[in-house]
Amino acid sequence: MNPYNTPASSRPWWKTTPAAFGMLVLVALLGALSFPLGFLVMIAAMVAMWVLPPWRWFAKLGATFGAFVLLTVGASLGGQLDDNGKDKSDAKVRNEKGTSAEATSSSPSPKPLKIADYTGKQLDEAAQQARSAGFTAGHHDAADENRSILVLSEWKVCFQKNDAAARTIDFAAVKTSEPCPERDGGPLPWPVMPDVVGATYNTAVKDLEQAGIDLDRVTLDDVYLDIDSPTADEAAEDGDEWRVCFQSPGEGTKVTSTTTVRLDLGKWSDYDLVQRCPAAKNTTYKIPANDPDHESDDSAGRKHSSSGGSSSSSSGGSTNDGGSGGGTVHPGSFCSPPGATGVTKAGTPMVCGPGSDGRNRWRSP
């Protein structure tokens, strides 16, 4: 038999060149649908290129490279290599559930910035805290006087205007001793002095408090030459016996931070012979015997008592008439005559003698 006339044996279809090209197309199609599945098919196709077709080595190498290229192209066309593919799929699922794509893709709106309330604080403290929170702090006079603020620690915050977008805070302040106005740029609401002349100390205190006047700013003085000025506690202890004879300032006057409030008091009870205020302050004595001029008025009586021959009775007369004047004596008050004796309200014995100023005053023996 002639070997050259022998017909070529037929190969199975999977070893033919069309079958090899079909596997390469299959790699591209599966890569477009699923990159992992396409990758596996690409490996299988590469192995098949080297085993099944009767190709030369360079043809097999080109087919191997072509399988990789086809996988890459198919995966790109199918969106398998897109980083946003998963996000798009998730967005599609959320859209199917009723959430709009625009709402899901956009970032959530920021929460409104919360700004602290600094009203009532010292201006320097409020400004420092605002700067620490990332704001730019400004300030101005809250009153209608348009004053310059130089020392921040001497002012307090009444109002504040916030701008969260610009991150600024503008403080409206007044001096620490001043009341805040009803509105920014309004007048200062200073209290007005009431009329307390003739009222008892207890009643005057209530009227001052009701008017908004700080009692710590009220000073007390006496109206008699022989009575010491009481303290606030002493006046409150006998608040119904102390009475306001004069006041400063007068009724209707605004009491500002620089105004001095003074009450001139007189004291008497139902047992005192004189129960009224004097015509002017520091012009009379509550106890007439304390007046140095009172000595000349009764000198004749004392001389007559001494000429009676009994020094003890004369001394007794001085004690009863000139010493106490019919009432208790007050330490430090003027007295007459020298050597007279008396007792204080607390029962302490006192004697009339020269004081540090050379005038006769009640002193301890």
Judge if 265 and 294 occupy the same domain. no
Give the pLDDT score at 300.
43
User: Over 60: is that where the pLDDT of 72 sits?
Assistant: yes
Secondary-structure percent of the chain, ordered helix, strand, coil, rounded to 5:
40, 15, 45
Query: Are 311 and 245 contained in the same domain?
Result: no
Q: Which structural domain range is residue 217 located in?
A: 201-283
Residue 265 lies in a domain: yes
Residues 278, 295: one domain?
A: no
Query: Quick one: tokens of 362?
Result: 């009640």
* Cis amide linkage into residue 230, ω under 30° from 0: no
* pLDDT on residue 104: 47
Average pLDDT in the 328-332 region? 78
C-alpha to C-alpha distance for 37 and 290, rounded to whole angstroms: 124
pLDDT for 167? 94
Residue 335 inside a domain? The answer is yes
207 and 265 inside one domain: yes
Q: Which residue has the higher pLDDT, 147 or 37?
A: 147
Domain-located, residue 117: no
Q: CA-based diameter of the chain, in Å?
A: 197
pLDDT at site 309: 41
Residue 202 has pLDDT above 80, yes or no: yes
CA atoms within 13 A on the CB side of 5: 2
Encoded amino acid at 173, one letter: A
Question: pLDDT tens for residues 209-252?
Answer: 999 998 988 999 999 888 888 999 999 998 899 999 999 999 99
Assigned domain for 83 exists: no
Q: Are residues 251 and 309 in the same domain?
A: no
Does residue 300 lie in a domain region?
yes
Question: Average model confidence (pLDDT) for the chain?
Answer: 76
Q: Looking at residue 294, what is its pLDDT?
A: 65
Half-sphere CA count of 93, side-chain side, radius 13 A: 5
> Where do runs of H (alpha helix) occur along 194-298?
201-210, 232-237, 294-297
CA atoms within 13 A on the CB side of 178: 20
Of the residues 266, 283, 300, which one is the last residue of a structural domain? 283
Tell me if 185 is assigned to some domain: no
Evaluate if residue 143 carries a pLDDT over 80.
yes
For the segment 271-311, what is each residue's pLDDT rounded down to a tens digit? 777 788 989 998 888 877 777 776 544 444 454 444 444 33
Cα(334)–Cα(353) distance, integer angstroms: 9
Q: Residue 179 is encoded by which pair of tokens?
A: 């009341």
Q: In this structure, are 298 and 269 located in the same domain?
A: no
- Burial environment of residue 209 by CB neighbours within 10 A (0 to 12, 13 to 18, 19 or more): exposed
Same domain, 297 and 272: no
Angle between helix 17-33 and 57-77 (nearest 10): 30
Rounded CA gap, 116 and 159, in Å?
Answer: 12
Contact by Cβ (8 Å): 139, 156: no
State whether 293 and 328 are in the same domain: yes
* 20 belongs to a structural domain: yes
Give domain status of residue 93, yes or no: no
Q: Which of 240, 267, 283 is the last residue of a domain?
A: 283
Inter-residue long-range contacts of 106-111, CB under 8 Å, 24+ positions, other chains counted: none
Angle at 99 between CA 97 and CA 105, to 5 degrees: 130
What Cα–Cα distance (Å) separates residue 218 from each residue in 247, 248, 252, 264?
A: 10, 10, 16, 11
Task: Please tell me whether the overall predicted TM-score, pTM, comes out greater than 0.85 for this model.
Answer: no
Report whether 352 contacts 337 (CB < 8 A): yes
306 three-class SS: helix
Rounded to whole angstroms, the Cα distance separating 126 from 248 reads: 37
**Residue at a domain's end among 77, 92, 107:** 77
Question: 343 - beta bridge partners?
Answer: 349
Domain count, the chain: 4
Pair 339, 359 in one domain: yes
Tell me which of 40 and 107 has the higher pLDDT. Answer: 40
More confident residue, 144 or 310: 144
Shared domain check, 297 and 274: no
Between CA 22 and CA 13 the distance in angstroms is 11
Identify whether residues 213 and 277 lie together within a single domain.
yes
Q: 91 vs 284, which has greater pLDDT?
A: 284
Do residues 358 and 295 both lie within one domain?
yes
Determine the residue type at 95: N
- pLDDT above 70 for 49: no
